[in-house]
Structure 1
Amino acid sequence: MSKPLKIAVLGFWHVHAGDYAKQAEQHPGTELVAVWDDDPALGQAGADRFGVPYTDDLDALLARDDLDGVTITTATNVHRDIMVNAANAGKHIFTEKVLAPTVAEAEEIIAAADANKVKLVVSLPRLAHGYTQAIREVIDSGDLGRLTYGRVRLSHDGAIAKNGGEDGWLPRRFFEPETAIGGALTDLGCHPVYLLQLFLGADPETVSATYRSVAGRDLEDNAVVTVGYADQKIGVIEAGFASPNPFTIEIFGTEGSLTYTDEGNLLQVSGKQLLVPDHSQDAFGQWVDHIAGGTRADDNLARAVELTRMVVAANEAAAAGRAISYQGPTA
């Protein structure tokens, strides 16, 4: 790449907006040049933080010939409109999960990116983490036997008020049904979802979900999703904004068991501790590589669609208060 790609941040709605802006600032292949947000206060604060101009004119920003790509961290409900517009303008897209509120919208976004030769990558960061690679190798080795059960839990305490305050550190907008679409499961729960899909498969027969709000908000901050497979495996996805980590993975089979916790980065298989390798290239770096190489992020996009499908199903099951049949891609 002869010169850095010029990148703009679209939206400081999500708490990870600053993280991706920092990556664009620090990656040798990219340069952060602008910020847009439909909320001037959020946008201007983000622009000031990174020392770049703020604009309230999205169309003008996307029309810039010198702009190569965008990171999208807007409210979830506007993902489809903004990403399709960015793709039609020929701007490469790196986006916060979930890709879209519905599978149809996710597929529309991908189609727009493909039609305009735009490189699209969804941030699914834990796929590149060392423990994920190690767990995949253990599963593939057959040492656990036939898999019977998997559980992935991720939580933080962002919804819980402390020291006499009224709110936790997570912004209230994360609990607005119209813009956020869903609560802990739709946001933080994405990570357990795509990891469980990686370990056990993305084709369960049934999905059930229980949501609760410890902080009494309009969306859940405490969620458990259970999926059942045709081969009798059970998968459990847990996510919450009402208690701190540890991040935990458990995989059980007919011949062994695997546990991982980020407390000490400890991976054990049937009581034996294994070395956890270093992380591989992160999602933002993969995006830059796809742009430079002219390649499509096939696996990332397929997983992003299936992640959306599972989140939609979990939210439906929670609303219905019962297990539902899982409608996979070929259904």
Structure 2
Amino acid sequence: MSQPLKLAVLGFWHVHAKDYAQQTEQHPGTELVAVWDDDRALGQAGADQFGVPYTDDLDALLSREDLDGVIITTATNVHRDLMVKAANAGKHIFTEKLLAPTVAEAEEIIAAADANNVKLVVSLPRLAHGYTKAIQEVLDSGELGQLTYGRVRLSHDGAIAKDGGSDGWLPRRFFDSEAAIGGALTDLGCHPVYLLQLFLGADAETVSATYRSVAGRDLEDNAVVTVGYADQKIGVIEAGFASPNPFTIELFGTAGSLTYTDEGNVLRVAGKELPVPDHSQDPFGQWVGHITDGTRADDNLARAVELTRMVVAANEAAATGRTVPYAGRQA
């Protein structure tokens, strides 16, 4: 294993590829050494931005003995093939969510990583945010009583054209149904999904969904998913690319309520404002730690599978116009 760890970015398809490349440059334990992309224009531009070589030969890149790991930020539909190939080459993997288009593919990726002693981490950054820790402490205290309802909303205006343009700032490839698998719910909605599963549980019974496209694209830019639980809780997941709303969490119980907004980073319980701690180690830093310590990201991987399961169920519910069963397990 190299010191620092030598890493390559596989794919500049996702808008966060540059963020992870920048994290690689800034982390004292990592070094960016190469970029691969099957789209030469995207890959070369990314390589040029960070001053590293671009290659179109994936097999040659993965065969490099000095390469320790890869950051996979390609289109979602090729995650399984790339990650299994990288795992079989013994390269550690950090990946943008969604882990895979299906639960079976997600489990196949994890199995390949485990078989090759590869450390795999999926980017679920809001689990490490300070408000998440503070909210979990409130729930653990029992102050809200029995939870009855939870709502998490995250939205930006990336699909909305401005200044006379025909597109928003979000690349049009995010609305390619084959490559992206889904729209706002599958991409941005992942964050509300895993947070709702943390707060309310991943043992839902039913899932229903309504998707709409404000910008008239092939995939939704406006989504609401409703989740039903056996103990009668209701969860609501909202995601959009069509409005710059503040990030919002609302939790209601038999004894009280909690609200959080990132406008001012304000957390209130029963009308009283609570302090919000600093963020803990981000997923990229966690990944580096798992590599150096030889540990497995058990909680991260379990939540990544349940996230995939919920997104698949929501997309099915939206496509069929009916409520579908959720065959998950407690995370």
TM bin, normalised by shorter chain, reads: over 0.9
Tell me the residue number matched to 2:202: 202
Q: Deviations over 1:189-236 (max 9, x none)?
A: 000000000000001111000000000000000000000000000000
State the alpha-carbon separation in 2 of the partners of residues 36 and 325 from structure 1. 39
Deviation per residue, 1:129-151 (Å, 9 max, x gap): 00000000000100000000000
- Match in the other structure for 1:184: 184
**Secondary structure of residue in 1 paired with 2:31:** strand
Match of 2:16 in 1: 16
1:324 CA drift (Å): 1.1
Matched, 1:132 2:132: yes
1:62-141 aligned within 5 A: 62-141=62-141
CA distance in 2, matches of 1:105, 1:24: 27
CA spacing shift, 1:165–1:2, aligned 2, 3 Å? closer
Counterpart of 1:85 in 2: which secondary structure? helix
CA-based RMSD of the aligned residues comes to 0.9
Cα distance in 1 for residues equivalent to 2:41 and 2:298: 37
Query: 2 CA distance for matches of 1:176 and 1:216?
Result: 13
Alpha-carbon distance in structure 1 between the residues aligned to 2:183 and 2:226:
17
d(CA) in 2 for partners of 1:329 and 1:231? Answer: 15
C-alpha displacement of 1:326: 1.2
Q: How many residues align?
A: 330
Q: Does 1:315 align with 2:311?
A: no
**Equivalence for 2:53:** 53
1: CA distance, partners of 2:163 / 2:2: 51
Shift in Å, 1:2: 7.4
Distance 1:329 1:252, change over 3 A: closer
* CA 1:312–1:21: 2 relative to 1, 3 Å: same
Specify the SS of the correspondent of 1:143: coil
- What are the ranges of 5 or more consecutive residues in structure 2 without an aligned counterpart? none
Q: Does 1:244 align with 2:244?
A: yes
Contact 2:2/2:66 (8 A) holds in 1? no
**4+ runs deviating over 4 angstroms:** none
Deviation at 1:245, TM superposition (A): 2.4
Structure 1: runs of 5 or more not aligned: none
* Cα distance, 1:329–1:269 mapped onto 2, change above 3 Å: closer
SS at match of 1:95: strand
Percent of residue pairs identical: 87
2:227 is the alignment partner of 1:227: yes
Instruction: Tell me the alpha carbon deviations over residues 137-169 of structure 1, each in whole angstroms, 9 at most, x when there is no partner.
Output: 000100000000000000000000001000000
Q: Pick closer, same or farther for the CA change 1:141–1:329 going to 2, 3 Å.
A: closer
Report the Cα distance in structure 2 between the residues aligned to 1:301 and 1:245, rounded to whole angstroms. Answer: 29
- Counterpart AA for 2:88: N
Separation in structure 1 between the aligned mates of residue 69 and residue 281 of structure 2, nearest angstrom:
19
User: What secondary structure, in the 3-state scheme, does the structure 2 residue paired with 1:184 have?
Assistant: coil
Q: Which whole-Å CA distance do the structure 2 matches of 1:185 and 1:58 have between them?
A: 30
- Preserved contact between residue 80 and residue 106 of structure 2 (Cα < 8 Å): yes
Query: Residue in 2 aligned with 1:215?
Result: 215
Supply the distance in 2 between the matched residues of 1:294 and 1:326 (Cα, whole angstroms).
34
Q: Give the C-alpha shift of residue 3 in structure 1.
A: 1.6
Match of 1:271 in 2: 271
Amino acid at match of 1:134: A
Could you state the TM-score of these two structures normalised by the residue count of structure 1?
Answer: 0.99
Match of 2:242, as an amino acid? A
